[in-house]
Structure 1
Amino acid sequence: MPGPRRRRTARADGDARKLILDAAEELFAARGFDATPTAAVAAQAGVPKGLVFYYFPTKESLLTTLVTERLPAEPLADVADLVVTGQPESTLVNLDAALNLRDHHSSVMRVIIWREADTHPAVREHLRRLRSYLHDATIEVLRASSPFAASARALDSSATAWVAAMFAAAGADRLRDLDELARDRAEDLRGVARLVVAGLAQLSGAGA
């Protein structure tokens, strides 16, 4: 006669779900989504394959959950605390640090997002939302910290440049990590911040 069924607990459920997402993150980054069977995710997580489908009805839902939960499209609820009045350069560096795009976990997620955006519309839309959020957040902190009145056109161009710089710095950090080289941290971005703010002033007529 079979023994009583063990009741699942919230903690056990949470642990299993996290293990599955951890395994998917590692394997999708290393092999790609299409080349990673669900069975491999289950084996990596140390759970039955059926448990993967219990949490994620389809393999695609596993990918979209991983992306939306681990690299949110709107990562900061409020950027006001990042603003240093009259010091837009420091404010931009604060924004980069708060977003934490340069840590190992974020870099792995970006590998997945950039790779899968080509073939998965949901991932592509998430990437668009993330970039739009970063652009708008940059405009907000620049407007709040600038010691001069910046034009809308100048703010838009400066935000585009700064978002590109943050992603470029994050990519450079990942290459350093792969080669086990020391990172430059925020110092390599501070010079770019100066250029962005100088361009903001020039485009707004404050640098004339």
Structure 2
Amino acid sequence: MWILPLVGYLGSVVGFCFLTLAIASGLYYLSELVEEHTVIAKRFLTRLIYSTIVLQILLCTVDRFPLFLTVLSILSHVVYLGNMRRFPFVKLTDPLFLTSCVLVLINHYLWFRHFSHEQERSYQNISSYYDTPSNHPSFTEIASYFGLCVWLVPFALFVSLSASDNVLPTMTDNSDVSGASGLGGSRRSGRQGMAKALVDSLVAGVANAGAGLGWKRPDDRLD
């Protein structure tokens, strides 16, 4: 077969592009929601951090998770909680924010190594190739743990934190002021979420690259 493998490669590329667009659209929508409901988002994230800490304690006491990694995860979430003091504003050079980024990587590496060693130890104790270890967590359980206890809070903070914290909420142009007065002050300020800023930067970069190659948007062709 010659054509079918090429169709498979083409389908993989197209699927990856659609997946990337779906993730970018989801981040953009979540950033819009956080900008509109900042107080609710802060309350939700705070409770999410406390819930994750309680879940870590339960996993350590009931399922005998390693104490050192559990303490490290709890301390990491305490550091994440410190980012909420100026929510949704953050400085990318803030030591607390940089420490949070480092702790995310450390937690991911240490927990990945822990589950890998547990899997190797479990398969070394079985006598037959067709046997399966009984006390080893499944792939779904491990993936769920990483998603809920390792990645969820940092990802939520990344989506929620503002990238343009130098823009004050009162710094609006005349059109925003007039619109706010007409809508009872319901217009949002000029701040922009970090994920939204990244998506806008990627879109602008693609547009500039296309312009450099001589491509024009349909509205530009009419000029």
TM-score (norm 1): 0.32
